[in-house]
Structure 1
């Protein structure tokens, strides 16, 4: 399970993972795949204010693009809750950030999302990234 990493090197790894996951989400042609990458990015980035806010903004954009108005409303609410969560320190680890789950409930990281997170790690340049830079299994 992903937990908060306190070291500077760990913080940099989380930022790199988050950026790689957001990049992969943007490259997806299928909305469901984009959601998977955004959820993985949320899990990795939720402990830092800016990545957390950015992930929810991207989730809101995807919800609007796919005309999922319930999800869009949920993401709008989450964008408002992000500052409060960071001020109070109440950030539910493992929560994927979708409107279909409680915004305040910690959850175990699903295996599929953990796989995406692991592929976006430090070794992704060598084994988990395709030539296009997309994260995925190595052929």
Structure 2
């Protein structure tokens, strides 16, 4: 496993656990916000990038959100084939409501975690 993946995984996992907790409290929007944070953290790792998009797909299915389901199916294929080539827009939050090619600002707390993971 690449060192970035190993270093960033605990932080991605924390956001995924927070998403699960929000869903358990019937807070779907809050859950998706945590999935978006997990996406920003993990998008430089093929494994984490795909894993987060699969979780977003599961969210879309649970919400019966056809746009999100279709968007995530496309994004899973893109994450699996493009991440290793570096073809990911930094900061993109990963939802179907945003172009998969759009760069976005990264929240400072996530930027610090990404930077640290890249240094390990």
Structure 1 and Structure 2 fold alike (TM over 0.5): yes
Larger Rg: 1
SS in 2 for 1:90: coil
- Name the residue aligned to 2:72: 75
**Among candidates 73, 86, 90, match of residue 89 of structure 1:** 86
- Deviations along 1:12-43, one digit per CA (max 9) or x if unpaired, are 44211111111111111210000000000000
2:49 is the alignment partner of 1:52: yes
Per-residue deviation at 1:84? 2.5
Tell me how far apart the structure 1 counterparts of residues 74 and 5 of structure 2 sit (CA, whole Å). 27
SS in 2 for 1:98: coil
Single out whichever of 13-22 and 72-81 deviates more from structure 2. Answer: 13-22
CA contact (8 A) 2:5 2:48 kept: no
Equivalenced residues, count: 109
- Stretches of structure 2 lacking an aligned partner (at least 5 in a row): 115-120
- Name the residue aligned to 2:117: none
- Deviations along 1:97-130, one digit per CA (max 9) or x if unpaired, are 0001010111113x5xx56x48x99xxxxxxxxx
2:29 is the alignment partner of 1:32: yes
SS in 1 for 2:14: helix
- Please report the TM-score for the alignment, with normalisation by the length of structure 1: 0.70
- Please report the TM-score for the alignment, with normalisation by the length of structure 2: 0.80
- Deviations along 1:47-100, one digit per CA (max 9) or x if unpaired, are 001110010000000001011111111001101111222243211110000001
Q: Which runs of 4+ in 1 moved over 6 A?
A: none
Per-residue deviation at 1:11? 5.1
- Name the residue aligned to 1:42: 39
2:100 is the alignment partner of 1:106: no
- Name the residue aligned to 1:18: 12
